[in-house]
Amino acid sequence: MFITQALKRSTQLYGDRLATVCQGRERTWSEVEARVAKFAGALRKLGVENGERVAILSLNSDRYYEYFFATPWAGGVFVPINIRLAPPEVAFWLNDSGSEILLIDDRFVPILDELEGQLETVRDVIYVGEGDAPDGMRHIEDLIEAADPLEDAMRGNDDLAGLFYTGGTTGRSKGVMLSHANLVFNNMNCIHTFNYWQGMRWLHACPMFHIAGGIAIFGVTQVAGTHVIIPAYAPDLAAETIQERKITDTLLVPTMVNMLVNMPGVENFDLSSMKAMAYGASPMPEAVIRRAMEIIPDCDFYHAYGQTEAAPLVTACPPYCHVFEGEYANMYRAAGLPAVGVEVKIVDEDDNELPRGEVGEVAVRGPNIMLGYWQQPELSAEALRGGWMHSGDGGYMDERGFVFIVDRMKDMVISGGENIYSAEVEDALYQHDAIVECAVIGIPDERWGEAVHAVVRLHDDMEASAEEIIAHCHKLIAGFKCPRGVDFVTEPLPLSGAGKILKTELRKPYWEGKTKQVN
Amino acid sequence: MFITQALKRSTQLYGDRLATVCQGRERTWSEVEARVAKFAGALRKLGVENGERVAILSLNSDRYYEYFFATPWAGGVFVPINIRLAPPEVAFWLNDSGSEILLIDDRFVPILDELEGQLETVRDVIYVGEGDAPDGMRHIEDLIEAADPLEDAMRGNDDLAGLFYTGGTTGRSKGVMLSHANLVFNNMNCIHTFNYWQGMRWLHACPMFHIAGGIAIFGVTQVAGTHVIIPAYAPDLAAETIQERKITDTLLVPTMVNMLVNMPGVENFDLSSMKAMAYGASPMPEAVIRRAMEIIPDCDFYHAYGQTEAAPLVTACPPYCHVFEGEYANMYRAAGLPAVGVEVKIVDEDDNELPRGEVGEVAVRGPNIMLGYWQQPELSAEALRGGWMHSGDGGYMDERGFVFIVDRMKDMVISGGENIYSAEVEDALYQHDAIVECAVIGIPDERWGEAVHAVVRLHDDMEASAEEIIAHCHKLIAGFKCPRGVDFVTEPLPLSGAGKILKTELRKPYWEGKTKQVN
């Protein structure tokens, strides 16, 4: 199993059909494969040997797509960098991964100054943008043109294909090691789950650095579908591209779906080519999915749940869950059913499987599960204990096998031996009219181990006391789940690159010098 | 990757849905899994440990189905035996595989007498039939009832799952070693190629001993479809079962399709539930496929090509090839396009890839390719040289990537350095009105190495001389391909269990004491 097989098969069978579309450039499979072989040749000339890391920091492009195949073709390991990181975080990822080559586009060239002197391993920075290469930097197109096509290094199976760093909402960012087999098997899962097919035209709207983009980069290539690539998401650009390129499939996060379907004038676009839209990463508000189903009525919707560690697909909610009455009413809120080649079970602290309906940690097994965390043997052994990947997500499985995610385990508060899921408390808080934003954390408590604590931001023109807010919660949830204290803030809560509230930051002042049990 | 995962997932998600139907018995996934765990417990009690071989010689049944999961669940290796073998051949398979347990049904109990004293390794024979166990033999149902459910031995990945013996039309039968990963990956290929889905109801009409049955036994289980099992194929039973059980999918050989669609009274059956029918193993006559498309017009047809060594799917012709005009006219005659996770190339004698359209050997690579031949390291190394499985089939790939099979390489005649495909010569012979059956073989020739030789049987009331027949061929094909001599026979040509003409038998008198180059 090796990920360049997908590209080769697509070229062998559909060489003349459209493979990638980006910035008006259209390339067939034969053209893309020829470019990838030369791109790999250029990387080899730059000294890339088996197992060497090649990083990229760029908006989406066809070159980014080619990078995902050229790097393993040359024997290397890809390291796509989160485009929302601050320069010190970029430096950490590059240094931690030991990347020797960095590909960069216009958007990120300016941060090179800020990285000056901080990069320990990068020895070459190559320009992959749309204009002329900045002074002193070589253009990837010149390197490709000058290179001879390379023979595929034929790494595969358990060989490392790429490092995908996790967001790091809790603690330090970790490099998830995904093998060729992980990615190929995930392709197989995605093809069945989402009904990929040869004639599909995929819109790459999510950033390619994220493994969620991988289900398309590798999966759509596996069936020889067409990749239509926009540099970054904007609702009008997405709508125009769907109309112009007759897009059939895409993956968006709920916020993006919301921006698209509630964009003024959306009804003037012909979006009827859409056959399937997957979404995930955060809950889908009912109003948004209802509106999406109105705007593109012939489209199938899928709620997907995954993790970088699972390459990434774990479960999905099929189209028949996108209904508001009957047997499957509102079931799109579930994370869904385990994908075809994936095993899921819900376990307690001792890794015993829990009965249906009981909340525990979601554990996952399958050929898609990561090799481990880069240079973190202890964390890897802990996460993969007993052969199951411990997702860190709290959830349960219902009688029909649907998995529901309740909370991150790390965000669970353990007070007096009771597990309290912060999401449940936050749901109660959000029902208070004055609260615009909130987060629930556990803080040290001598008697109970941890105490439930709320950090809230009120609407500018509204007021509420801590007592009122706690009393409000007591009306909605069990007493032991209610906050014992409330902090008021006036600034928006700190967010991670993926848009999640950084609870680590909120907990920090309380835990200074102490050790939280769950980490 | 382990094949019991499919059973466990189906049970976890669809425990109450129908898993198997056989002889009026209906079982849900939960019931089947519970039985498999106890069946495995019974095998363990009989001494089955990791890697031990358990053979079965039986018509199709739900017990046969369960055997395919119970054996690996107990850590064992399944060895399904061809039901058309003569007793000495059964003895050879059992002894060669070193099977210690033999499961047997009513149909085959009588041959036990003939096997007396010939079995070197079998220490227990268990009855898996429909009646009472014969004297001195234990009934599998009693053993299952008395057993405790076993924990899954959790063999997987490259562990040996089963031995499937090849037909042995040429030389000695070989045990093809298929791993868990081989079978699971083939499931993934089949799911995409044939559009398997959870609501499907598969008719098991082909004998289960053959790996072609495996695409359903393992593949349909992977998506939790329902298995409807008939003991053996008969057109009326198949039609009744399709109607009664609303069968959606099946796999048949062309002869079976012919018997079904040309059965008198077929129009009285409601076959409209059929959504997909795959066929393979021999060419599909145009009249038969046309008739099939008339009888079940809403059904999709797939021509599948595979080999035991490939677990088995290699290529398939999609439904859009089942047309008689336009761009894909008559393309159903092709073996088809490589399956989604499979690589195919056509190579010459030195393993160089040949250009499109040139005939060579079909070579196959992928996670579905066998571990090797059981206890045949040299044959294995030869077949798998360079990491590619050398199929032994001669064929070519057209410009669009469709593979066409021309002939078995072994049936190729090499005369004066020219490769002559016997199938092409036989096609010419069959265009002679007087010929009812024929086979073309190579016989020793001092000058040319081999000479093209025809063995023909004429219609009872017709005549033709060798000279006439050779002259007929000269009108149709190049001179060097035409037979130099003709043997006339009056009995039907000898057939293998799989219905193929046994050319080894025909060649034998000519090659006594000599060595044929290709073997």
Question: CA of B404: how far to CAs of A84, B333, B495, in Å?
Answer: 51, 8, 24
**Whether B191 and A340 lie within 8 Å, measured CB to CB:** yes
Rounded CA separation A282/A15 (Å): 38
Instruction: Kindly list the residues of chain A whose beta carbon comes within 8 Å of any beta carbon in chain B.
Output: 1, 5, 8-9, 12-14, 184-185, 188, 191-192, 196, 222-223, 337-338, 340-343, 366-367, 400-401
**Whether B5 and A343 lie within 8 Å, measured CB to CB:** yes
* Interface residue of A2, A192, A220, A403 to substitute, partner B, most B CBs within 10 Å: A192
**Whether B9 and A367 lie within 8 Å, measured CB to CB:** no
- Select from B68, B331, B47, B77 the least CA-distant residue to B215: B68
Instruction: Work out whether the CA dihedral B407, B409, B410, B412 comes out positive or negative.
Output: positive
Tokens 């025909």, located at residue: B506
**pLDDT at site B169:** 45
| pTM (predicted TM-score) | 0.88
Residue A519 has pLDDT above 80, yes or no: no
Question: CA of A77: how far to CAs of A17, A74, A155, A209, A263, in Å?
Answer: 28, 9, 10, 14, 39
Closest CA of chain A from B12, distance in Å: 6
Residue B445 has pLDDT above 90, yes or no: no
ipTM of the complex: 0.86
**Whether A1 and B367 lie within 8 Å, measured CB to CB:** yes
Rounded CA separation A204/A212 (Å): 10
With beta carbons less than 8 A apart as the criterion, state whether A194 and A22 touch: no
Q: Which of A12, A340, A401 is facing B12, going by the closest CB pair?
A: A401
Question: B1: which 2 tokens?
Answer: 């990757």
What does the pLDDT look like over B293-326, one tens digit per residue?
999 999 999 999 999 999 999 999 999 999 999 9
What does the pLDDT look like over A55-75, one tens digit per residue?
999 999 999 999 999 999 999
What does the pLDDT look like over A460-496, one tens digit per residue?
899 999 999 999 999 888 888 899 999 999 998 887 7
Closest CA of chain B from A249, distance in Å: 17
- Select from A144, A186, A160 the least CA-distant residue to A77: A160
Query: Chain B contacts of A222, Cβ < 8 Å?
Result: 340-341
What does the pLDDT look like over A255-301, one tens digit per residue?
899 899 999 999 999 999 999 999 987 778 888 999 999 999 999 99
Closest CA of chain A from B320, distance in Å: 13
Question: A52: which 2 tokens?
Answer: 């060497």
Q: Which of A13, A185, A343 is facing B9, going by the closest CB pair?
A: A343
**Whether A340 and B12 lie within 8 Å, measured CB to CB:** no
* Interface residue of B157, B192, B368 to substitute, partner A, most A CBs within 10 Å: B192
Query: Chain A contacts of B367, Cβ < 8 Å?
Result: 1, 184
- Select from B415, B412, B486, B421 the least CA-distant residue to B450: B415
DSSP designation for A272? T
Mean of pLDDT over chain A: 93
Residues with Cβ within 8 Å of A344's Cβ and at least 6 positions away in sequence, in order, are A314, A315, A338, A362, A363, A364, A397, A403
Closest CA of chain B from A185, distance in Å: 8
Residue B168 has pLDDT above 60, yes or no: no
Residues with Cβ within 8 Å of A350's Cβ and at least 6 positions away in sequence, in order, are none
What does the pLDDT look like over A186-226, one tens digit per residue?
999 999 999 999 999 999 999 999 998 878 999 999 999 99
Instruction: State in Å, rounded, how far the first CA of chain B is from the last one.
Output: 35
Closest CA of chain B from A349, distance in Å: 22
Q: How many Cβ pairs within 8 Å bridge chains A and B? A: 68
